Structure 1
């Protein structure tokens, strides 16, 4: 039997944990602070553990609170998905597809795919959430998303299938005052001593490792000065004089006036977006999406 009282207590715990303050959490929840404090105390008594350390600065999680927070967050996401599924089913929708996508895929690959999907299946409910590439596999394995659009490639295991959706040529982003900026093309081994701004490995391990392997194939390991969370941020760091970056040619449209993108002498294609899904998924909505996906052309940029 569902313990609805415990569910409410966990929602309250999550609000206090995220706000790190009982007063702010109470305002977010639309309630006064004393009842919130009382309910958290009841939860602590039920769990026989203190969850927060209270001080003038707010409320900080104890080690026990930090331990249960990820599970409570996941529970909250699942409850939101359940609520959406019930609401949409009641409204007469035929299914629910949950998509996780990196920000660049949301700008380029995802919109035309979703347009085609909605045209063919107008009563299919589609929920999109932002993820990092490193989150894609675990989100698929855990069933948090049905379909992921991320920078993934290579052997991802027997249970994960992928389809390349967009590729681009790798270029070098340089400050306009850089010694190599006037060249029409740049050889990789000309970058041996340069400080690199890299797309962080924790965000996209496969992409990061492929860039490092590319450099090592030319006889050097890149001197990494910064790791950042997006390719757009790589260009921004180059603009700030923090180094050079290897980025897809499509970033040229985002480059500020003091940054140039030069083609590599070596022609290198990189996967900028791939679709991935779990082959054992039983969600009928995923099968509908795959029908549309397989008819979607890969974007190949010059």
Structure 2
């Protein structure tokens, strides 16, 4: 049986059921009593049920009326929740966002970004995934992640937008017992004969730029004796005396035993870190996340 009932019918019925008096219910609803009585009668006709015992004084609900009252309240409560949830969703206050992270951003400004976002939007679920920089572009295109942190986009990477967060200095990491560790600053040319431990530029894309900058200064590429992808592995190899390396300054937060860090003498090497997302992603949650980045990190560059 198909029943056509409007929300106002439920509100009218609940008012009468709670007041057990048509006059008081009409006053509560700010309508006249005759139209209210007619609406209740129409509801009963639609349901083919008697909801009130009208011959009793005071007015009473029938057994069917008591059951219908309980269910009607549930319907209105569910509707109110649906309206609230829809409004929250439209403001980006509920839902989820998949964020790709790597060691560079994790050791830098990510903690403050996450803390601020969760303070502002406690009901949004942030799903963090560790993704190497070389994989983030493809995972964005495949909608496996919503936003990533990487170096700036290349000109050929269409369909993605980026927001430069900061220019991070590059420092030299070397074994604590290395002769050069006694110097407060080290020139890149002093490393010309040193063995290097570096990530592959094919895996950590930003290292292609770092190697180019080194070669421009020294005139030769670094002598890479060992490649390693993860920062903790690179530092372990440096601590073990395998070689020296060039790392983002945030690596100093790890305080790896056996490794010391020195600034580069006479050369301000930096690399950009950017938030990257799909250009056609109109998610309010994403926009809120980007706004938090702008609020947390001073002097954020315009979007590209």
Same fold (TM over 0.5): yes
Q: Tell me by how many angstroms 1:187 deviates.
A: 1.4
Q: Tell me by how many angstroms 1:214 deviates.
A: 1.1
Cα distance, 1:240–1:110 mapped onto 2, change above 3 Å? same
1:183 and 1:107 map into 2 onto residues whose CA distance is: 25
Contact 1:239/1:258 (8 A) holds in 2: yes
2:274 and 2:100 map into 1 onto residues whose CA distance is: 12
Q: Tell me by how many angstroms 1:269 deviates.
A: 3.9
Q: Which moved more, 1:291-300 or 1:221-230?
A: 291-300
Equivalent position of 1:213 in the other structure: 212
Cα distance, 1:262–1:163 mapped onto 2, change above 3 Å? same
Contact 1:189/1:220 (8 A) holds in 2: no
TM-score of the superposition, structure 2-length normalised?
0.61
Contact 1:232/1:251 (8 A) holds in 2: no
2:241 and 2:164 map into 1 onto residues whose CA distance is: 33
CA RMSD after TM alignment:
2.8
Contact 2:107/2:253 (8 A) holds in 1: no
Cα distance, 1:289–1:243 mapped onto 2, change above 3 Å? same
Equivalent position of 1:116 in the other structure: 116
Unpaired runs of 5+ residues, structure 1, are 1-88
2:115 and 2:252 map into 1 onto residues whose CA distance is: 26
Q: Which structure is larger by alpha-carbon Rg, 1 or 2? A: 2
Cα distance, 1:107–1:222 mapped onto 2, change above 3 Å? closer
Q: Tell me by how many angstroms 1:225 deviates.
A: 0.9
Q: How many residues align?
A: 211
Cα distance, 1:96–1:177 mapped onto 2, change above 3 Å? closer
Q: Tell me by how many angstroms 1:183 deviates.
A: 1.9
Equivalent position of 1:246 in the other structure: 246
1:284 and 1:100 map into 2 onto residues whose CA distance is: 18
Q: Which moved more, 1:195-204 or 1:270-279?
A: 270-279
Contact 2:104/2:248 (8 A) holds in 1: no
1:145 and 1:156 map into 2 onto residues whose CA distance is: 20
Matched, 1:130 2:130: yes
TM-score of the superposition, structure 1-length normalised?
0.61
Cα distance, 1:142–1:175 mapped onto 2, change above 3 Å? same
1:127 and 1:251 map into 2 onto residues whose CA distance is: 24
Contact 2:172/2:263 (8 A) holds in 1: yes
Equivalent position of 1:259 in the other structure: 259
Q: Tell me by how many angstroms 1:262 deviates.
A: 1.7
1:148-297, aligned counterparts within 5 Å? 148-152=148-152, 155=155, 157-205=157-205, 207-218=206-217, 219-271=219-271, 273-297=273-297
Cα distance, 1:167–1:257 mapped onto 2, change above 3 Å? same
Contact 1:139/1:145 (8 A) holds in 2: yes
Q: Tell me by how many angstroms 1:147 deviates.
A: 0.8
Equivalent position of 1:143 in the other structure: 143
1:236-266 Cα deviation digits (max 9, x unpaired): 2111111111112332343444322121113
1:42-53, aligned counterparts within 5 Å? none
Q: Tell me by how many angstroms 1:152 deviates.
A: 4.4
Q: Tell me by how many angstroms 1:292 deviates.
A: 2.3
1:147 and 1:195 map into 2 onto residues whose CA distance is: 36
Contact 2:168/2:273 (8 A) holds in 1: no
